[in-house]
């Protein structure tokens, strides 16, 4: 083979490699990516929500989850309880999700720090998430996978635990108590009159009339 033939083969290989890289970049920019994570509820102090979110730019079809072990459900307790919370038997994690739009997120009231920690302990739960690009089977319906890790210990010093919630509540009550005492003190003060405003006897006003 002469030099021109080698150059032609080399150019063809480069063209194929470029097409593969371009397709991979295109797919990464348009594929769905579903993750699972825990997040404190900003509206309900001490509550931890379980969030399922499609952070990809494509719609996710037929989403289902495979956790390393069962998750707890309704684990509501700020201190660590004596009774173990129930296993999750229903909901999106257990039953899957038919469709999740790009940027869509589902929020589940998972529990509170003590109840969730009672179930999880120091061993995080890993969740493998599977979904498809399209609804129908075909060339572009490849199954995609992502992984998430749930570890409640990251909220150990946040307002989602008894260490944050209790002192904050006590602080608010102390502030309210100080305010009420200040108001009560002001109300008990005797009424005084200044020199510019002499105290006129009401009986004199009656006689004068």
* Domains of the chain, earliest start first: 29-162 (2.60.40)
Q: What is the pLDDT of residue 43?
A: 86
- Rounded Cα distance between 29 and 42, Å, is 31
Give the Å distances, CA to CA, from 21 to 13, 15, 27, 112.
Answer: 12, 10, 10, 45
How many residues would you count in the chain? 209
- Rounded Cα distance between 133 and 59, Å, is 7
Instruction: For residue 165, count other CB atoms closer than 10 A to its CB.
Output: 17
**Beta strands 34-40 and 47-54, pairing class:** antiparallel
- Rounded Cα distance between 170 and 165, Å, is 9
Q: What is the pTM of this model?
A: 0.65
Contact call for residues 70 and 91 (beta carbons, < 8 A): no
- Rounded Cα distance between 138 and 168, Å, is 56
Burial of 83 (0-12, 13-18, 19+ CB in 10 A): exposed
Give the Å distances, CA to CA, from 50 to 91, 135, 157.
Answer: 11, 26, 18
Contact call for residues 147 and 126 (beta carbons, < 8 A): yes
Which pLDDT tens digit goes with each residue over 116-168?
A: 999 999 999 999 999 998 876 665 668 899 999 999 998 887 655 544 444 55
Going by C-beta distance under 8 Å and a sequence separation of 6 or more, which residues neighbour residue 99? 59, 60, 61, 63, 135
pLDDT in tens, the chain (209 residues): 677 777 777 677 777 777 676 655 556 567 899 999 999 998 888 899 999 999 998 999 999 999 999 999 999 998 889 999 999 999 999 999 999 999 999 999 999 999 999 999 999 999 999 999 887 666 566 889 999 999 999 888 765 554 444 455 555 656 777 777 777 777 777 766 555 555 555 455 545 54
């Amino acid at each position: 083979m002469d030099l021109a033939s080698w150059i032609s083969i080399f150019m063809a290989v480069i063209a194929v490699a470029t097409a593969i890289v371009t397709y991979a970049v295109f797919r990464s920019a348009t594929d769905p990516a579903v993750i699972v994570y825990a997040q404190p509820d900003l509206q309900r102090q001490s509550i931890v929500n379980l969030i399922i979110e499609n952070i990809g730019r494509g719609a996710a079809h037929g989403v289902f989850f495979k956790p390393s072990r069962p998750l707890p459900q309704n684990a509501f307790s700020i201190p660590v309880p004596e009774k173990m919370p129930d296993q999750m038997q229903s909901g999106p994690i257990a039953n899957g999700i038919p469709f999740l739009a790009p940027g869509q997120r589902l929020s589940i009231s998972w529990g509170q720090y003590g109840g969730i920690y009672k179930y999880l302990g120091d061993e995080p739960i890993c969740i493998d998430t599977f979904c498809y690009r399209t609804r129908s089977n075909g060339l572009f319906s490849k199954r995609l996978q992502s992984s998430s890790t749930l570890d409640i210990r990251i909220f150990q010093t946040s307002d989602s635990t008894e260490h944050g919630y209790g002192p904050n509540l006590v602080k608010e009550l102390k502030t309210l108590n100080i305010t009420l005492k200040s108001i009560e003190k002001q109300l008990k003060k005797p009424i005084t009159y200044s020199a510019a405003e002499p105290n006129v006897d009401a009986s004199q006003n009656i006689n004068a009339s």
